[in-house]
Structure 1
């Protein structure tokens, strides 16, 4: 793990310095984003502006920290040289060969960065790209303290751009608070191995492992997005593990590296059942997916079954799932039944709709573990105001919710421990609201009812007045028409 550290201090001058650094660096990234935005960038880069921002930043990062990374490369690719030599002497083709060499020296084998640069095609790219390079020269990754801030701000702007561009970028992200909660519940510590079979561009994974000396194994099916993931992980300081571009069901990293993992943090793709995978999978995948081959392969639940199979015997996983996965019948119910019967489901945490600004579906965190069979499930509903109340306090709020989950704290109207027998009686449904009824505040209910009735009375009176006015207007109009006819 890189030795990047953010030195904390109670001294006011240091706080002011870091604050001003955040603001300055943020303004640099927004200037880069402003320069790169537009259709020509989206046509050149898969992932659009996000890909371009990460790529420009990565070129500056590996130039500034080439000694720390142990890179032996030509001085042609020093960042100050690039500013003078691009695009006439050093063009994208030369940068492609440079990054291929960087990957090789860093021990990366899939040539993700080389392929990423090879696919950059746009006749109008050079001027914008050179302007962005000049702006990014204001970044300075040589200082450990400032480098940490610069990576934090890079992640922040990537999230903002993904949110603003929506589906155009083809990227999604999990908000900081949710990623942090998943990480804290899994209790990720130095020396652990962390796996994400559906990593995307890696923002959730980065939030989970930040500041920890861990081995990271990640897979993403889209080559361009996998390259963004690799660049972000390198800049975050990850030096152990692997990033692969492939399908995690057909070619799981558990099989590639013949190992299982301490922790899995993931958000599997939301797909319709039976659309991508066949009704059966190859026999060489036995052990990589649970309950093979006695049930149908369903797209979303097969990832859950792979995640549990990927855990060490004392491993733990936090997985974001849509609510429909916890309530749907058919083969989804069969998967839930088997996981519950084997005692792999530890907790279900329902999130409020406003926890995500970039989606509107109801979502839950599924906590899985293999340490010992569990004959009950902790249910927590954060959609009843608890999330907003706790998360307003930032890290302290996340820590409080984490403590509730780890200690299985029962809060009336918000959480409970549900025995397996009750879940069986409810046809293996795992929707939290089914088991944690919301308490009604009688006084508040009566007060709201009185207010509602008063509002209804006012609306009814207003409606009657409008009806009278309309009738009077119609009478005047009919009188006018009759008068015109008589003339």
Structure 2
């Protein structure tokens, strides 16, 4: 699987990387992978099937939307148009399943960014030829998990970009941590991400926690990202998910009887550098800003306010945010209200530079509506990273320690004293005394590594060094006297 993903990414760079950025050409590659996969799955069984156990639902593939048809038309001067039509017809033929995907609207194979007519045709022909030869089966001849391949490609493209894709992809270690913090799906829970990006967080959390497609909801403002998320959900088997295009702050689509739809779980990574229109809060009919109105220059708290308003009375949320959210003076009144309403369960400060395209410090906030205690757990993971060629990753050891600490906190056992990251349980009064500053350094004492010292051996070594020093001083004194005598003779 990994080999196939790197092979596809390498070929994409070879064909398109000369004139397009990774952020541009990845959309074309993923769309062709979608077409290729749909055709391969359809050919594997002539009848239309809906199999909940398959990672990818078989779609009805008409002749003109099949990959084989496109390959036969390789010499056509309207090849870009034919690919656009294939995507459109694939969606139309399967409107019951993928209504509203409109991938061809987001990704245009006739676009001039691919070059002039001759250059565009050359690139498209080379891409189609590559995908025609690409095998999507394993050694046993079974079709591989296309959803997993899709997400692998997203990671590889982000790494290839050299951290130039702004806020596109969440590191898989952080996604895994978010999923584990959410816990098990015991009660047929609903999951939402109101700012989904490419959908990787929704997909991975849905898989790990075990949430059915019908219980997955989301919204995304960027059209291209919206299309990628729809493909991502589809390729990973979440065919019944509910997903909308639009800005969650100015135009929330996940509503119910005039109010916001409520969810058991919200997992989200709001855009790190967004501004927002604060005047919207004055006329907000969803009651989202009861804890205060965030400043215009910082939209993160606006998204958090939306998330908290979207939780059921017993709901919980895990949100990844810039670390400035923890301490900025302009947002202190909101933090004040969150603490006094007993909504903050956990703060985790993460190592710097974990996110591709965002060289900033980040943190994870865990909120819970029906808390049984007024205490808050603060965990400091800033030193828990590994670095390879300038890419920082949260270490597996730190992830394990964070989860041990968190689970101990929930169960009332102070296990972090044995096997955990630096942590502290703060009372509401302690947070008040820190003026509602949530930085972990305000609460967590840095662990000092204790080293066993052989006292007797150390004293013996000191004695030897002192004798050596005495000898050196004697030699120095002798040399000094000799130098004085020589000087006097002159």
Please indicate the TM-score interval, normalised by the length of the shorter structure: 0.7 to 0.9
The alpha carbon displacement at 1:176 in A equals 0.8
Match of 2:150 in 1: 154
Q: Which moved more, 1:232-241 or 1:184-193?
A: 184-193
The equivalent residue for 1:429 is 437
Take 1:251 and 1:425, find their aligned partners in 2: how far apart are those partners? Answer: 38
- Aligned counterpart in structure 2 of residue 99 of structure 1, from 68, 76, 87: 87
Does residue 29 of the first structure (1) align with residue 8 of the second (2)? yes
Q: Across the two proteins, how many residue pairs are aligned to each other?
A: 421
Query: Match of 1:253, SS?
Result: coil
Structure 1 distance, partners of 2:294, 2:397, is 45
Partners of 1:64 and 1:141 within 8 A in 2: no
The SS at the match of 1:192 is coil
Structure 1 residue aligned with 2:25: 49
CA separation of 1:188 and 1:56: change in aligned 2, threshold 3 A: farther
- Once the two structures are superposed, residues 187-213 of structure 1 have per-residue CA deviations (whole angstroms, 9 ceiling, x without a partner) of 252743211111111222222222632
Whether 1:75 aligns to 2:63 is: yes
Where is the helix percentage greater, Structure 1 or Structure 2? Answer: 1
Matches of 1:30 and 1:239, distance apart in 2: 26
TM score, norm. by length of structure 1: 0.75
| 1:143–1:424 CA distance, 2 compared to 1 (3 A) | farther
Tell me the SS of whatever aligns to 1:411.
helix
Query: How far apart are the structure 2 equivalents of 1:31 and 1:148?
Result: 19
- Compute the displacement of 1:320 (Å): 0.6
Q: Could you list the runs of 5+ residues in structure 2 that have no partner in the other structure? A: 43-47, 50-56, 388-392, 454-490
SS at match of 1:353: coil
The higher radius of gyration belongs to 2
- Alpha carbons of 1:142 and 1:269: their partners in 2 closer, same or farther (altered >3 Å)? same
- Bigger mean CA deviation after superposition, 87-96 or 225-234: 87-96
For the residues of structure 1 that align with 2:404 and 2:144, how far apart are their CA atoms? 26
Partner of 1:198: 195
How far did 1:48 drift? 1.3
CA distance in 2, matches of 1:443, 1:397: 21
Q: CA deviation at 1:38?
A: 1.9
2:267 to 261, 265, 268: 265
Go from structure 1 to structure 2 and tell me whether the alpha carbon gap of 1:89 and 1:296 turns closer, same or farther (over 3 Å shift). closer
Three-state SS of the structure 2 residue aligned to 1:134 is helix
Match of 1:484 in 2: none
Farther-moved stretch of structure 1 (394-403 vs 165-174): 394-403
In structure 2, the residue matched to 1:178 is 174
How many angstroms does 1:286 deviate by?
A: 2.4
Aligned to 1:321: 321
Tell me what 1:60 maps to.
36
Query: 301-310 vs 350-359, which deviates more?
Result: 350-359
Segment drifting more, 22-31 vs 337-346: 22-31
Partner Cα separation in structure 1 for residue 307 and residue 141 of structure 2: 36
Q: Does 1:411 align with 2:413?
A: no
- Aligned Cα RMSD in Å? 3.7
Shift of 1:263: 1.1
Greater Cα shift, 114-123 or 213-222: 114-123
Q: Which residue of the partner structure matches residue 448 of structure 2?
A: 440
- Residue of structure 1 equivalent to 2:227: 227
Distance in 2, Cα, partners of 1:340 & 1:48: 43
What are the superposed Cα offsets for residues 422-455 of structure 1, whole Å, 9 maximum, x if unpaired? 101111000111101113347699xxxxxxxxxx
Q: Determine the C-alpha separation between the residues in 2 that align with 1:216 and 1:128.
A: 37
> Partners of 1:268 and 1:327 in 2: how far apart?
18
Cα separation, partners in 2 of 1:302 and 1:238, compared to 1, 3 Å: same
Unaligned runs of 5+ in 1: 1-21, 446-487
- What residue in structure 1 maps to residue 76 of structure 2? 88
Deviations 1:236-262 (A, max 9, x none): 111122222211111123327852112
Q: Deviations over 1:40-88 (max 9, x none)?
A: 444xxx9313212211111112222343446434212222222112462
The equivalent residue for 1:12 is none
TM-score (norm 2): 0.75
TM-superposed CA distance for 1:153, in Å, is 3.5
Name the counterpart of 2:347: 348
